[in-house]
């Protein structure tokens, strides 16, 4: 499959970027192609302005040139993988803004559904699984991101993978990178 790999992190030597690379290498070794969308390096503007605000009366609205380019980048691929650190039990504003602007009315929901059947999220989490379960953050993220965004946009094979313990716990980055490789092999 042709995979669009969207990464949202300010630092290229971050664990998040290493997770993206591990996933990508493993997916490529299984015959997939991977196009990288490094939103921070590309200077993507996550702020929704009037040009990209949905017009509920007009599902055929022409959005800004930047958003049209992003839509074309999605359309020339067959699946999307979003890789990001968990910030405040959610995704960074950079990625949230990419979804706000690009996954727009009439293209990702409403008249149409998101162009890809399979969208996976790889969320690199600082805390351990037990901490998430204790307060229900895992369920909250599944509801918000998986159901609220992917399912809402008609993605038939949605998946939120939370890779726990980048900061807390004993498993550390190697364990997270191994999971990323496995996910790339399984894609």
Ligand X SMILES: Cc1cc2nc3c(=O)[nH]c(=O)nc-3n(C[C@H](O)[C@H](O)[C@H](O)COP(=O)(O)O)c2cc1C
Q: Give yes or no for residue 166 binding ligand X (CB under 6 A).
A: yes
- 84 HSE (CA, 13 A, CB side): 23
The site that binds ligand X (CB under 6 A) totals a number of residues, namely 15
Among the listed residues 7, 86, 108, 155, the single contact to ligand X using CB under 6 A: 86
> With respect to ligand X, which residue has the nearer C-beta, 87 or 152?
87
| C-alpha torsion sign, points 34, 12, 94, 164 | positive
Q: For the chain, count helices (H), then strands (E).
A: 7, 5
Kindly give, in sequence order, each residue whose CB lies less than 8 Å from that of residue 41, ignoring residues fewer than 6 positions away.
12
What residues are paired with 163 via a beta bridge?
124
Please state the closest distance from residue 140 (CB atom) to ligand X, in A: 11
> With respect to ligand X, which residue has the nearer C-beta, 6 or 124?
124
Q: Give yes or no for residue 91 binding ligand X (CB under 6 A).
A: no
Please state the closest distance from residue 37 (CB atom) to ligand X, in A: 17
| Max CA distance (Å), the chain | 53
Binding mask 106-135 for ligand X (x = CB under 6 A): ------------------xxxx--------
Q: Give yes or no for residue 16 binding ligand X (CB under 6 A).
A: yes
Detail the DSSP E strand segments found in 39-107.
Answer: 79-85
Interface ranges with ligand X (CB under 6 A): 9, 14-16, 85-89, 124-127, 166-167
């Amino acid at each position: 499959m042709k995979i669009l790999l969207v990464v949202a992190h300010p630092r290229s030597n971050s664990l998040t970027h290493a997770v993206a690379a591990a996933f990508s290498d493993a997916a490529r070794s299984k015959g997939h192609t991977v196009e990288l969308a490094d939103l921070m390096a590309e200077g993507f503007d996550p702020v929704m302005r009037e040009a990209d605000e949905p017009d509920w009366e007009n599902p055929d609205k022409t959005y800004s040139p930047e958003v049209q380019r992003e839509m074309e980048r999605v359309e020339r691929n067959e699946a999307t993988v979003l890789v990001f650190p968990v910030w405040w039990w959610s995704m960074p504003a950079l990625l949230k803004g990419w979804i706000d602007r690009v996954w727009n009315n009439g293209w990702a929901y409403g008249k149409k559904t998101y162009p890809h059947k399979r969208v996976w999220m790889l969320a690199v989490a600082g805390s351990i699984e037990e901490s998430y379960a204790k307060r229900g953050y895992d369920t909250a993220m599944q509801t918000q991101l998986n159901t609220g965004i992917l399912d809402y946009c008609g993605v038939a094979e949605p998946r939120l993978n939370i890779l726990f313990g980048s900061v807390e716990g004993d498993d550390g980055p190697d364990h997270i990178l191994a999971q990323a490789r496995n996910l790339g092999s399984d894609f």
